[in-house]
Amino acid sequence: MGTSRNVERRTILKAAGATAATLGLAATTGCGGGSGSGDGTVTLRYAWWGGEPRTIAIKKTIALFEKKYPKIKIKPEFTDYQAFWEKFQTQASGGNPPDVFQNAVGFLRKYDKRGVLMDLKTQADAGNLDLENFRNGVLANGQVDGKQIGIPVGANTMALVIDLKAFEKAGVEAKFGWTWDEYFDALQTIQDKLKIAGDTGYFTIMYLYDLYLRQNGKAFFTDSDLGFTDDDLTQWWEDGYKRVKSGLVADPKKIEQVAPKSGLSAGLAASEFTWDNFSIRYEGEGESDYGLAPIPTTDGKDTGQYLGSLMLSAFSGTKHPKEVAQFISFMVHDPEVGKIMGYDRGILATTEQYDAFKPTDANNKGVAAYEDEVAEAGVLGKITPHPSGADVIEAAFLRLGGEIAQGKTKPADAAKALFSEAKAAFAG
């Protein structure tokens, strides 16, 4: 890695308090696709998921866009993550999805396969969409089989959030290049000295397992299948369950009892793996200080990390492709939009917005510093492919991992079940 800087010094989080993912917003309803009026005004439906802070910010950006393009009106639709995709599935099946919508890599191939997503390269070629100035190669995240079906609005990477006070009190340090053995040794020291678990449940997180596989020359997905064996997964889950039994990983029943609060911020464990831009939640929920620490490695160097992203996609059947492209281009490049959105959806994806937004709170500064340090370490690779059905498999991985943690399913049986469910998901 070439660096042993103390992560606490570089990336300490001091959150303002609000969580990044407040749920429970009522979904708005909208019938029909984008529409036009007699005076030439066009109306586009724009849908996203997220909490109230995101919705407030996005509505401000919509107002900016409508001021610049008075002949284009935006009709917002928003809800929480699960309800969004349930509704979108119904809309797509009925040929009535929104003109523009928030998207993620796990859904690209699924809806491209069904002909729902527009190839936005056509609008870029027509001069309606700017595909320049995307940072760190993140534009490739929205590409499938030579088509540009998603335009990134932000970028994030997996990180380890740690309880800084617990790590300091136990006398252990998180640093770039540490191995999995060193990580688990540190957690054992914390358990021995502080009598709390080291981790909240690492082995149930699909994207963390993907990093572990990448460290070992594999990946969770190939273009059309799983990139590992059931023996690989059985070993991963067996090791995880042993750590639950030993107390190194927190009791899943206790984790459930404090939900929706995190087990880390509830003081049940000293660390938790998550996406770096989700880390704002911990200071708002907990009573300690929290920091972003490096992903453990197999070889002391390769973390397997890559930049993921939220994106904007467009309906292939929209009646207003030019206006849709103009809207997306504005939303990913306009500097004022960047200032309004900040890092709500990850580190801003284009140079215009990244340069325009200067975080003032230590929370966002910590996320930016973490991603800068990961980039400087030279460990970032390309995102792994996500075949159609990836979203179903992610949900199955989380569910089966939870059953293992509670002793309801044996790891080998869970691995067989995942492969069976994956086969069905890929065929769907």
pLDDT of residue 392: 94
Q: Is the pLDDT confidence value at 312 over 50?
A: yes
Q: Is the pLDDT confidence value at 12 over 90?
A: no
Report which of 4, 17, 6, 7 is spatially closest to residue 291, judged by C-alpha positions: 7
pLDDT of residue 270: 97
Strand partners, 102: 312
Q: At a CB cut-off of 8 Å and minimum separation 6, what does 51 contact?
A: 19, 20, 21, 22, 23, 25, 80
Count CA within 13 A, CB hemisphere, residue 377. 26
By mean pLDDT, which of 24-38, 64-78, 340-354 is the weakest?
24-38
pLDDT of residue 107: 95
Which pTM value belongs to this model? 0.84
How does residue 6 score in pLDDT terms, banded at 50, 70 and 90?
A: very low
pLDDT of residue 281: 82
Amino acid in position 25: L
Residue with the bigger pLDDT between 23 and 153: it is 153
Percent of the chain with pLDDT over 90: 79
Question: Residue for token digits 């100035």?
Answer: 133
Amino acid in position 329: S
Strand partners, 160: 273, 293
Phi, psi of 204 (to 5 degrees): -95, 0
pLDDT of residue 16: 32
Percent of the chain with pLDDT over 70: 91
Report which of 314, 316, 338, 332 is spatially closest to residue 324, judged by C-alpha positions: 314
Q: Is the pLDDT confidence value at 210 over 60?
A: yes
How does residue 38 score in pLDDT terms, banded at 50, 70 and 90?
A: low
How does residue 356 score in pLDDT terms, banded at 50, 70 and 90?
A: very high
Domains and CATH numbers, the chain: 7-15+158-304+384-427 (3.40.190.10), 35-153+313-360 (3.40.190.10)
pLDDT tens digits, 316-336: 999 999 999 999 999 999 999
Q: Rounded mean pLDDT of the chain?
A: 90
Token pair, residue 40, equals: 């030439």
The three-point CA angle 102-106-110 to 5° equals 90
Phi, psi of 384 (to 5 degrees): -75, 150
Q: Yes or no: say if 309 and 103 are a contact pair by the CB < 8 Å rule.
A: no
pLDDT tens digits, 236-268: 999 999 999 999 999 999 999 998 889 999 999
Cα–Cα distance for residue pair 71/34, rounded to 1 Å:
13
pLDDT tens digits, 357-402: 999 888 888 988 999 899 888 899 988 879 999 999 999 999 999 9
Token pair, residue 265, equals: 């911020």
pLDDT tens digits, 396-412: 999 999 999 999 999 99
pLDDT of residue 9: 33
Strand partners, 90: none
pLDDT of residue 39: 75
Cα–Cα distance for residue pair 295/179, rounded to 1 Å:
9
Q: What is the 3-state secondary structure (H, E, C) of the chain?
A: CCCCCCHHHHHEECCCCCCCCCCCCCCCCCCCCCEECCCCCEEEEEEEECCHHHHHHHHHHHHHHHHHCCCEEEEEEEECHHHHHHHHHHHHHCCCCCCEEEEEHHHHHHHHHCCCECCCHHHHHCCCCCCCCEHHHHHHHHEECCEECCEECEEECEEEEEEHHHHHHHCCCCCCCCEHHHHHHHHHHHHHHHCCECECCHHHCHHHHHHHHHHCCCCCECCCCECCCHHHHHHHHHHHHHHHHHCCECCHHHHHHHCCCCCCCCCCECEEEEEHHHHHHHHHHCCCCEEEECCCECCCCCCCCECECEEEEEECCCCCHHHHHHHHHHHHHCHHHHHHHCCECEEECEHHHHHHCCCCCHHHHHHHHHHHHHHHCCCCECCCCCCCCHHHHHHHHHHHHHHHHCCCCCHHHHHHHHHHHHHHHHHC
Cα–Cα distance for residue pair 61/386, rounded to 1 Å:
30
pLDDT of residue 309: 93
pLDDT of residue 222: 92
pLDDT of residue 15: 35
Average pLDDT over residues 201-206: 96
Average pLDDT over residues 150-165: 96
Count CA within 13 A, CB hemisphere, residue 89. 11
pLDDT tens digits, 97-129: 999 999 999 999 999 999 999 999 999 999 999
Question: Residue for token digits 């569910």?
Answer: 399
